[in-house]
Amino acid sequence: MAASTLTEVARLAGVSPATASRVLNGSARKPGPGVSERVRQAAETLGYIPNAQAQALAKSSSGLVGLIVHDIADPYFSAIARGVQEVAREQHKMVLLATTGGTPADEKDAVAAFAARRADAIVIAGSRSRRPEDDKGNADLAAELDRYCRNGGHVGVVGQAIVGAGALDGYHLVEVPNEELAAELAGKLAAGHSGEFVIIGGPEGLITSDDRIRGFQSGLAAADRSPAEVLRASFNRAGGYEAGLELARRIREARASGASKEGEKPGLCIFAANDVMAIGATAGLRSQGFRIPRDALIAGFDDIETLRDFRPGLSTVRLPLEEIGRLATLSTSGPEAPDGDGHHDGGAAVTGEVTLRRSTEWTP
């Protein structure tokens, strides 16, 4: 059966289509209570479903918030999404979700789709990229965001600024101190480990990974330690797993050559640039018969919820991921928004905490 139309509702209620639209689509100009009740009763009788786009025009608000993440299955992004959802629920709005795989070209398409649906705000979470192959995608994304903001949209960005985006009304950045926190983690690990450090990082040019690698190296330098070797891999569990297999091969070769012995304090401490890479690396080592912290030490970054069930407990940097999602969404809400540095008017800012656990604590 065909859907009921606004004209049919108006005819049954004995009013004009314009009057029926004002009642059902949320216009500030509303007729008297009796007329409004007749229109609503007619709509219920006919099973009429209001047009969301018409409501958005009438209210100058669609009640929609667009959320763009790299991978919603990654606990890092799902935690941020919970914070976004929480604020949207408080504001009586609905969240539309787009996952992109991390490319600015796909993010641009998501922004365009949300803009076409008149989303009131868009939140973008995920590392920026300075890889040459993403140059065009970055330029297109910046241009699409410029268009959206110039038409009254608001954007909250988590982490780093969109590459190439200028100063825009409606553009808000919630910065995460990745470099500083990674340096703090390196200093604390160096205080308890005298051996070698290796970093498992994402592809070069992925800004979140690069910031964390740079911070960790500066923390080692401040502790008068040599720079760590950097193994580049996909910025996910699979990348960590492949790196773990390579490190297992090195540990085996070191034992075969007599450079290290089983049962001695591990000579290797691994820093993975995010927790899912650390989990993957641990699995790769375990598949070759090695254990954490018996044969190697390891730390991650983010303190994702999955770590509650991970053994041994993973040393990491704890980020308030849900709060980050909240701040990014609140930043798009007008006078209560954070300032240009990503700080909320109430003084809240994104902070983190180095948390050392069993994965970096070797005992004979």
pLDDT of residue 208: 96
Q: Alpha-carbon distance 189 to 214, whole Å?
A: 16
Phi-psi region of 5 (alpha: psi -120 to 50; beta: other; left: phi over 0): beta
Sign of the C-alpha dihedral computed for residues 227, 228, 234 and 235 taken in this order: negative
pLDDT of residue 256: 86
What residue ranges define each of the domains in the chain, with the CATH number in brackets? Answer: 6-59 (1.10.260.40), 64-176+323-330 (3.40.50.2300), 178-318+352-360 (3.40.50.2300)
Residue 138: CA count within 13 A, CB half-sphere: 18
Please report, for the chain, how many H helices and E strands are present, in that order: 12, 11
Peptide bond connecting 293 to the previous residue in cis, omega within 30 degrees of 0: yes
pLDDT of residue 1: 42
Separation in Å, CA 138 to CA 40, 100, 145, 146, 169: 47, 14, 11, 12, 19
Which stretches does DSSP call E strand in the chain? 64-69, 94-99, 121-125, 154-159, 171-175, 196-201, 229-232, 268-272, 297-299, 316-318, 353-355
CB atoms within 10 A of CB 301: 31
Answer for the pair 149, 119: CB distance below 8 angstroms, yes or no.
no
Separation in Å, CA 20 to CA 13, 15, 35, 44: 8, 7, 9, 13
Full pLDDT tens readout for the chain, 364 residues: 456 777 877 888 788 877 877 777 666 566 777 788 887 887 778 776 665 554 554 445 678 999 999 999 899 999 999 999 999 999 899 999 999 988 999 999 999 999 988 899 999 999 999 999 999 999 999 999 998 998 888 999 999 999 988 777 889 999 999 999 999 999 999 999 999 999 999 999 999 999 999 999 999 999 999 999 999 999 999 999 999 999 999 999 988 887 666 667 778 999 999 999 999 999 999 999 999 999 999 999 999 999 988 999 999 999 999 999 999 999 988 644 444 443 333 334 789 999 999 999 987 6
pLDDT of residue 60: 53
**Chain centre to alpha carbon of residue 301:** 14
Q: Alpha-carbon distance 303 to 314, whole Å?
A: 8
Which stretches does DSSP call E strand in 164-302? 171-175, 196-201, 229-232, 268-272, 297-299
pLDDT of residue 48: 67
Q: Alpha-carbon distance 236 to 8, whole Å?
A: 54
Separation in Å, CA 184 to CA 142, 179, 191: 33, 9, 11
Structure tokens given for 292: 């954490």
pLDDT of residue 199: 98
Structure tokens given for 209: 């990974």
Q: Which of 184, 194, 214 is nearest to 315 (CA)?
A: 184
pLDDT of residue 200: 98
pLDDT of residue 44: 77
